Structure 1
Amino acid sequence: MRFRAATADAADLDRAAAYPADGPVAALCADRIREELSAHRFRPEWIWFAEDEEGEVLARALWWGRADSERPLALDCLQVRAHVPDPAAVAAGLLAAGHAAFGNRPLYNISLPGGWRTGPDLVAAVDWRREAAYRTGLTREIERLRYEWAPSAGTADPTGRLVFREGTDEEFLDAFVRLAHGSLDVATQNELRAMDAEQLARDDFAFYRDCPGERSWWRLAELPDGTLAGMALPSATPYHRNVGYLGVVPEQRGQGLIDEILAEITRFHAGQGAQRITATTDTVNTPMAAAFDRAGYEVTEIRLVLEEPPGA
């Protein structure tokens, strides 16, 4: 078995784009792959093949990054031909080769339909992917709901319960620290086992500042008397507007204020002409999921995220 990155040769990139979508897990179409290559979010050195002795491609992995990323950020697509007897072994070898070349282990997003556990073929396809990821160090698992808003869902009018204003970097850092305490977000809980809330706040601040959205969009949410209630960080992806980060400080939770903050983000994006707003939340974060439901966001897919634990 030979594991190698694609070359910049047109024939090799055509081979990567034309690889058939074996199995029930959705794969990117050829046009989308070429579009991502043109945008520098896929790169030849981030596309890897597993080949047999005759040069037949048995597996393909596509890693994704932002246009300015030095290394890939996520594994977007992993496929092994249906006739391969041990797909987990081939996939693990392919991932290990890629990780060694990159010098890191990007997380793996598996996009799935709702109710995917009821389909035996789909469960089997996820199982070998999960096993390959676990063998290569991606042993932490989070299941997330991906939501979308469309203009037909409308927007809620402001109620006056909260006032939104711009804030300084220091104010937002303090808000990040306060929101982390008691958070139901699994990633936040996991990160707090490896670092203190102040370091996590700095990391989160840097992450959202580097997203395609603008820092000027961020707002602190306050009660009419000036008491901090939470914050709203509208954001964007390379493809569309995104909810970004939102939350309520612990002492103000349980009063429905998350609805007010989500409504502010939705109004902001809609007011700038957004035709689609995406968002994600963990399946176990039922209060946040309920807020999305109330705001007219609809679940479009499940994302199974496999990643390397901190300190691994």
Structure 2
Amino acid sequence: MQDLVIRPLVAGEENLFDSMPDPLPQLRQIGYADGLAMGGYRPETTWVAVRSGRVVGRAAWVLPPGAVGSPWLERFDLDAEPEVGAALLRAAHDALGGPRLYYAAMPAHWRRRPDVLAVVQAPMAAAQLAGLVEGVERLRCTWSGAPLPATAGRYAFRPAADAAEINALVARIAEPDILTGRETALAVGGVDLATDPVGWLTDLGGWRIALDAGEPVGLIGTAGDACYPLIGYFGLLDEAARGEMLVEAVRVLVDGGAREVVADVDAYRVAAVAELERTGFRQIRARVVFQPQV
């Protein structure tokens, strides 16, 4: 690695970052120049590895303006051996004051696609060599107009009365099925979407309670005026209600004008993933979380 140069960018070097071809153009990701213009990306938190005048590795940490958390690694591309990527990450971690979370974006069903595996294996190995530990995989799914399945009509739905009622139900739901934008809520607002969703999904008009014979069996929090219409919180007290609740969540957003609905779900929640697909959602990407060792 004698001819390898690892360094942060300086202002005006956006073209250097973009000189490396995008290895996964099928992913819907914000462009680096746009990220700079919006203030999330910064030259000093963007690093490159240059070999013989060519960028062979790039890493960009992001922190939106006004965020209360620490920058996280959003873009990490590598056209070199994993050891080069690990050296790049270690140098940046030293400058950042220590390792940071890495959200590795992948195309949908990436584990079953040899062409994608050939691209992502090197940066994933580099992250592990740099001391990051692979954690949970989260799937992003979208509904974009598919016919909704018929429901038995067993459950009734009503708006939440107030934040206190929502919080009381949240306290009874150990693990919500869907938490869309959980990472952003934590990094930007310092809000844990699983335990304090009203702290992030503040419009109480987007909340619905599922009822069986008058008793609450589930809770839905939607947002139609975020970056895109989404199911922000979806928690069950009765798993049998999952299908009807998903249909109701989509219906609430469509009635508000949505043409597309986004939902994030952990890959290990097999029943939730299957019900999303039955409701007409399709996977568009995955994000694998790499965490610093504790």
TM-score range, shorter chain: 0.7 to 0.9
The change in CA–CA distance for 1:90 and 1:239 in structure 2 (over 3 A counts) is: farther
The change in CA–CA distance for 1:215 and 1:2 in structure 2 (over 3 A counts) is: farther
For 2:21, the equivalent position in structure 1 comes to 20
For 2:185, the equivalent position in structure 1 comes to none
Are 1:6 and 2:9 matched, yes or no? yes
Q: Aligned partners of 1:75 and 1:64: how far apart in 2?
A: 6
For 2:220, the equivalent position in structure 1 comes to 232
Q: CA deviation at 1:205?
A: 5.5
| 1:57 maps to amino acid | V
CA contact (8 A) 2:151 2:244 kept: no
Per-residue displacement from partner, 1:245-300 (whole Å, max 9, x unpaired)? 20112xx22x2x11222222212221222222111223321210121122111122
For 2:171, the equivalent position in structure 1 comes to 177
For 2:158, the equivalent position in structure 1 comes to 164
For 1:127, the equivalent position in structure 2 comes to 121
CA contact (8 A) 1:112 1:304 kept: no
Which SS does the other structure have where 1:274 is aligned?
Answer: coil
| 2:45 maps to amino acid | W
The change in CA–CA distance for 1:41 and 1:157 in structure 2 (over 3 A counts) is: farther
Q: Aligned partners of 2:290 and 2:120: how far apart in 1?
A: 11
- Correspondent of 1:101 among 92, 95, 98: 95
CA contact (8 A) 1:146 1:279 kept: yes
Q: Structure 1: any 5+ residue segments left out of the alignment? A: 187-201
Per-residue displacement from partner, 1:208-254 (whole Å, max 9, x unpaired)? 4565x5432442524255422121111479642222220112xx22x
For 2:265, the equivalent position in structure 1 comes to 281
> Number of residues paired by the alignment?
279
The change in CA–CA distance for 1:91 and 1:207 in structure 2 (over 3 A counts) is: farther
For 1:219, the equivalent position in structure 2 comes to 207
| 1:215 maps to amino acid | D
Which SS does the other structure have where 1:92 is aligned?
Answer: helix
For 1:45, the equivalent position in structure 2 comes to 44
| 1:139 maps to amino acid | V
TM-score of the superposed pair, with normalisation by structure 1: 0.74
Q: CA deviation at 1:76?
A: 2.6
Task: Say which structure is richer in helix.
Answer: 1
The change in CA–CA distance for 1:116 and 1:100 in structure 2 (over 3 A counts) is: same
| 1:47 maps to amino acid | T
Q: Aligned partners of 2:138 and 2:28: how far apart in 1?
A: 23
Task: Say which structure is richer in strand.
Answer: 2
CA contact (8 A) 1:72 1:102 kept: no
Identity of aligned pairs, percent?
Answer: 23
- Correspondent of 2:132 among 127, 130, 138: 138
Which SS does the other structure have where 2:44 is aligned?
Answer: helix
Q: CA deviation at 1:167?
A: 4.2
Q: CA deviation at 1:149?
A: 0.7
For 2:279, the equivalent position in structure 1 comes to 295
Per-residue displacement from partner, 1:69-120 (whole Å, max 9, x unpaired)? 2555543321223xx3x2x11111222233333345123223124254341x
TM-score of the superposed pair, with normalisation by structure 2: 0.78
